């Protein structure tokens, strides 16, 4: 709460400095997210189990009376004010981070909700950019939330998630699933969201980790989904699905369980594709079991399933890389670590670990120094809390 107020004042002050006015400015916050388990399942009709964080993106915005757009990010101060207009809602390299808010404004228009006036928008994020904690989805949901607040569009938070994903897919050309935007728009304090991406049915599960906390380690290896192999993995899964559909009537890889996968897997004609599909199927089942374990207060089993998830992402899905493996394998060696795995798309970004309170300092010290020694630069650690979805401050 205190941090929120400090951030609100900081961003308001900067807004006045940069845009020269304070009248009519409103402030907002949208969280980042971390996924506890269920990785690369959301575009395969499977389950995910993410939660919103208390770190995220702060925004200050003022409605204009013309169609101009002025953007400023306190995370990219060197770029200064980036100007555009509602007539220029097209993606471009030069537009940098503003492609995210612009994409959402464009998406509202595509969905039949024309934006009547422009705005001045200032952002400040306290999630590390490009770290795999969904800074971009956070900006997307924040923008949608502001547009709804300014212009009274009849959209639910779930709609904001879908509009954010639509913008990411069609404006920014990243074929992401729905997990990130959903976790952010629908976040609930001290709960994770058990979401079935096949039909968007979901339930909130309390995160009760008596005597332990969620610790995120950022590899500081930058990753952009667009230039990663994300889209490639997605299409490998689509091809594997089409091969399986020759043999068995399914709509998505998430429709199979371990047993039915083993029965039909020979329909997939390529070893690599078979491994990708295996991960998607097994990870989905693992996620279902992990949530059951958590509900039964079996945190140890939940942690074990997190570890298994990492192994599958490393060996079958091949999206980890030396940085994430070093962090996770280092974590597994520390007493008091209940579970540890990469989180998000992979290829860099972050790991998520559940660590007993008394082991947190040792964890940071040991994993941090092993990482620095092997990789050559430092990792950053964040002990995080599970927070709510977007709010007006
Ligand atoms: C990224 C995407 C999500 C999801 C994860 C992998 O975060 O945006 O939709 O696919 O990768 O689980």
42 Cβ below 6 A of ligand 1: yes
Q: Please tell me the distance from the alpha carbon of residue 390 to that of residue 155, in angstroms, as a whole number.
A: 14
The DSSP code sequence of 332-378 is HTSTTEEEEEEESS-SSSEEEEEEEGGGHHHHHHHHHHHHHHHHSS-
The percent of residues above 90 in pLDDT, for the chain, comes to 91
User: Which residues on adjacent β-strands are paired with residue 354?
Assistant: 214, 339
Which secondary structure element, helix H or strand E, spans residue 204, and what is its range?
A: strand 201-206
User: Which residue minimizes the CA distance to atom 8 of ligand 1?
Assistant: 176
Average pLDDT value over all residues in the chain: 95
The three state secondary structure string of 152-167 is: CCCCCHHHHHHHHHHH
Cβ–Cβ under 8 Å, residues 124 and 58: yes
Q: Please tell me the distance from the alpha carbon of residue 270 to that of residue 314, in angstroms, as a whole number.
A: 18
CA triple 159-203-309, angle to 5 deg: 100
Helices (H), the chain: 2-19, 99-110, 135-151, 157-170, 179-185, 230-244, 258-264, 271-295, 299-315, 321-332, 360-375
Q: Please tell me the distance from the alpha carbon of residue 89 to that of residue 103, in angstroms, as a whole number.
A: 7
Nearest-Å Rg of the Cα atoms of the chain is 21
Tell me how far CA of residue 377 lies from CA of 136, 334, 346, 363, 380, in angstroms: 25, 21, 18, 17, 10
Q: What's residue 24's pLDDT? A: 92
Cβ–Cβ under 8 Å, residues 103 and 91: yes
Q: What's the gap in Å between 180 CA and the centre of ligand 1?
A: 7
**pTM over cut 0.75:** yes
Residues 41-78: pLDDT tens digits?
A: 999 999 999 999 999 999 999 999 999 999 999 999 99
168 Cβ below 6 A of ligand 1: no
What residues contact residue 154 under an 8 Å CB cut-off, 6+ apart?
none
Among 180, 196, 255, 316, the active-site one is: 180
Q: Please tell me the distance from the alpha carbon of residue 60 to that of residue 84, in angstroms, as a whole number.
A: 17
Pairing of strands 68-73, 119-125: parallel
120 as an active site residue: the answer is no
User: Which residues on adjacent β-strands are paired with residue 71?
Assistant: 82, 121
Residues in the chain predicted with pLDDT less than 70, given as ranges, are 1, 129-130, 222-228
Chain CA centroid to CA 360, Å: 24
161 Cβ below 6 A of ligand 1: no
Tell me how far CA of residue 119 lies from CA of 152, 253, 302, in angstroms: 15, 43, 45
Q: What's residue 108's pLDDT? A: 98
125 Cβ below 6 A of ligand 1: no
Cβ–Cβ under 8 Å, residues 183 and 47: no
């Amino acid at each position: 709460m205190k941090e929120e107020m400090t951030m609100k004042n900081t961003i308001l002050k900067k807004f006045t400095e940069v845009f020269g006015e304070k009248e009519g400015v409103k402030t907002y916050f949208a969280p980042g997210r971390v996924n506890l388990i269920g990785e690369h399942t959301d575009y395969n009709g499977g389950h995910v189990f993410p939660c919103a964080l208390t770190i995220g993106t702060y925004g200050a915005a003022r409605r204009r009376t013309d169609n101009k757009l002025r953007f400023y990010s306190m995370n990219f101060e060197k770029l200064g004010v980036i100007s555009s207009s509602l007539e220029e809602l097209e993606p471009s390299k030069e537009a940098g981070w503003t492609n995210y808010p612009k994409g959402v404004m464009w998406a509202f228009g595509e969905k039949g909700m024309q934006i009547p006036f422009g705005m001045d928008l200032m952002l400040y994020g306290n999630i590390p950019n490009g770290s795999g904690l969904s800074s971009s989805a956070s900006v997307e949901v924040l923008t949608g939330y502001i547009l709804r607040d300014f212009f009274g569009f009849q959209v639910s938070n779930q709609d904001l998630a879908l509009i954010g994903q639509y913008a990411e897919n069609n404006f920014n050309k990243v074929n992401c699933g729905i997990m990130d935007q959903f976790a952010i728009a629908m976040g609930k304090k001290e709960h994770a969201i058990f979401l079935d991406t096949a039909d968007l049915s979901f339930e909130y599960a309390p995160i009760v980790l008596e005597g332990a906390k969620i610790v995120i380690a950022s590899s500081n290896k930058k990753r952009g989904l667009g230039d990663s192999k994300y889209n490639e993995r997605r299409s490998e899964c689509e091809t594997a699905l089409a091969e399986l559909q020759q043999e068995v009537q399914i709509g998505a890889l998430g429709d199979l369980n371990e047993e039915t996968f083993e029965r039909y897997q020979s329909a997939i004609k390529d070893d690599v594709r078979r491994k990708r599909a295996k991960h998607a199927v097994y990870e989905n089942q693992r996620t279902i079991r992990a949530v059951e374990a958590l509900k039964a207060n079996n945190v140890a089993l939940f942690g074990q399933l997190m570890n298994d998830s990492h192994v599958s992402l490393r060996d079958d899905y091949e999206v980890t890389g030396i940085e994430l493996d070093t962090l996770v394998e280092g974590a597994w060696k520390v007493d008091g670590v209940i579970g540890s795995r990469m989180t998000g798309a992979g290829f860099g970004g972050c790991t998520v670990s559940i660590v007993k309170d008394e082991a947190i300092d040792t964890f940071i010290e040991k994993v941090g120094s092993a990482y620095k020694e092997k990789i050559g630069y430092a990792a950053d650690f964040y002990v995080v809390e599970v927070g709510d979805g977007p709010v007006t401050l």
